[in-house]
Amino acid sequence: MTAPAEAHDAAAAAGLRLDYDVIVVGAGIMGSCAAHAAASRGAHTLLLERFDLLHQLGSSHGDSRIIRDAYVKAQYPPVVRLARRLWADAEAESGYRVLTPAPHLSMGPRGNAALLAAVKSAGAEEVDLSQMWGGAFQAPAEGWVTAVSERGGGVLNATKAVAMFQALAVKMGAVVRDNAEVVDISKGPEGGVVVTTSAGEEFHGAKCVVTVGAWTSKLLRSVAGVEIPIQPLHTLTLYWRIKPGRERGLTAKAGFPTFSSYGDTPVYGTPSLELPGLIKISCDGGPPCDPDNRDWASGDREITDRVATWIQDFMPGHVDSAGGPVVRQSCICSMTPDKDFVIDWLGGEFGEDVVVGAGFSGHGFKMGPAVGRILAEMAIDGEARTAVEAGVELGHFKINRFNGNKDN
């Protein structure tokens, strides 16, 4: 493994110059956090974004993302705990808040194994929904689990959070460039990597971190012949009108929770916060899409109908579903077959010079600061010491778990 400093020395001996210690490709939440983490280590860092900064074409925009401990798979709570600490550190460093605290409600049939695992992981306690939040939720009295975790949950302002980490990265000396589409990553003649944009610009770096979300499969197939089965999905964020007289009770200020409903329709929601009088209630999933050729409407009717039916069943007295959602926002989720992340070196001819963070499968935003720190350490140190110290097991996130990549 060649450290950035050693790559600089080798390039200098060959009469070449490396422009940067670390080049991060993709300025969503993961890339912005990685750039901040690298720059905070003193690495000369470049962050490249193919679109405008804070664009709405990927997975890191919008006003609300849930942060919660309730997880089905045991590998994620340690990442969430690390991220929560780093969110607080970044808020203190920036001087403003991106996280609004809120409890988290997990609900669903008692026989749902995923629900039971999530409740256990969060240390959630069962509650009587009829006595909570003014009876906003209705659930069957028998055979149903309704459990609340009060520990460290809340709502993250997504776009504001990305902007915060980009500003902090610049404060630490990083260079940020938008409208710079990366079309090639190649080995440098004397070590390191060469990153080329569609405008023909070349940037020489010791290490490269790739965090391009829905464009990961296309880019890595092109530059390395590596097939990572990441399928972009067109998803919808839906906001529904709260019934008159119920508005205040469903706000974050009133203590209303974020929530996840397990079962046939995997619904999630956040308290009324960013759009007064409206509440965000959506469901996981959506139809496959090509991020470069989206129709922006595929599957919309099916998704809205499923959520409307859920509202009629579980929140009929507080949320108006009759007229459909008041606001619709498009997003992309980059799904792996097992819904687990990809956090690994690219391997092959690139060895440990290129690190990949991808496939966050609709549940990664909350862990952005932790993933960014891990990616930066992998690039700079060749290991992720913070992950080890936090009890994060990175073996779950290897590229070679997918067929066809056993040698990487």
The model's pTM is: 0.94
Chain segment 218-269, per-residue pLDDT in tens: 999 999 999 999 999 999 999 999 999 999 999 999 999 999 999 889 999 9
What pLDDT is recorded for position 9? 57
Rounded CA-CA distance 256/136 in Å is 9
Chain segment 323-332, per-residue pLDDT in tens: 999 999 999 9
Same domain, 169 and 186: yes
Q: pLDDT-based confidence at 11, cuts 50/70/90?
A: low
Chain segment 311-354, per-residue pLDDT in tens: 999 999 999 999 999 999 999 999 999 999 999 999 999 999 99
Asked if residue 65 belongs to a domain, the reply is: no
Same domain, 243 and 135: yes
Q: What single string gives the DSSP state of each residue in 136-156?
A: -----SSSEEEEEE-SS-EEE
Percent of the chain with pLDDT over 70: 94
Whether 297 has a pLDDT exceeding 90, the answer reads no
- Which structure tokens are listed for 401? 């778990």
What pLDDT is recorded for position 17? 64
Same domain, 264 and 166: no
Cα–Cα distances in angstroms (integers) from residue 188 to residues 21, 28, 355, in the given order = 13, 26, 16
What pLDDT is recorded for position 7? 58
Average pLDDT in the 29-42 region?
99
What pLDDT is recorded for position 142? 84
Same domain, 361 and 397: yes
Q: How many domains does the chain have?
A: 2
Computed on alpha carbons and rounded to an integer, the radius of gyration of the chain in Å comes to 22
What pLDDT is recorded for position 147? 94
What pLDDT is recorded for position 293? 96
Pick 297 or 15 by higher pLDDT: 297
Average pLDDT in the 9-28 region?
77
Asked if residue 239 belongs to a domain, the reply is: yes
Whether 1 has a pLDDT exceeding 50, the answer reads no
Asked if residue 356 belongs to a domain, the reply is: yes
CATH value at residue 362: 3.50.50.60
Whole domain around residue 202: which residue ranges? 4-60+159-230+338-401
Whether 13 has a pLDDT exceeding 70, the answer reads no
Question: Which stretches of 5-143 are assigned E, i.e. beta strand?
Answer: 20-25, 45-48, 65-67, 99-101, 104-109, 125-126
Same domain, 170 and 305: no
Average pLDDT in the 35-48 region?
99
Pick 384 or 8 by higher pLDDT: 384
Q: pLDDT-based confidence at 408, cuts 50/70/90?
A: very low
Q: pLDDT-based confidence at 152, cuts 50/70/90?
A: confident
Average model confidence (pLDDT) across the chain: 94
Boundary (domain end) residue, out of 335, 359, 377: 335
Boundary (domain end) residue, out of 316, 335, 354: 335
Same domain, 179 and 131: no
What pLDDT is recorded for position 140? 82
Same domain, 350 and 373: yes
Same domain, 120 and 187: no
What pLDDT is recorded for position 8? 58
Same domain, 269 and 372: no
Cα–Cα distances in angstroms (integers) from residue 85 to residues 29, 80, 194, 240, 376, in the given order = 16, 9, 34, 32, 17
Boundary (domain end) residue, out of 278, 313, 335: 335
Chain segment 66-81, per-residue pLDDT in tens: 999 999 999 999 999 9
Cα–Cα distances in angstroms (integers) from residue 312 to residues 176, 221, 307, 320, in the given order = 46, 45, 9, 8
Average pLDDT in the 107-123 region?
95
Start-end of H helices in 216-355 = 216-224, 300-314
- Which structure tokens are listed for 305? 């109908």
Percent of the chain with pLDDT over 90: 89
DSSP assignment, residue 264?
Answer: S
Average pLDDT in the 129-146 region?
91
Same domain, 238 and 225: no
What pLDDT is recorded for position 120? 94
Same domain, 144 and 284: yes
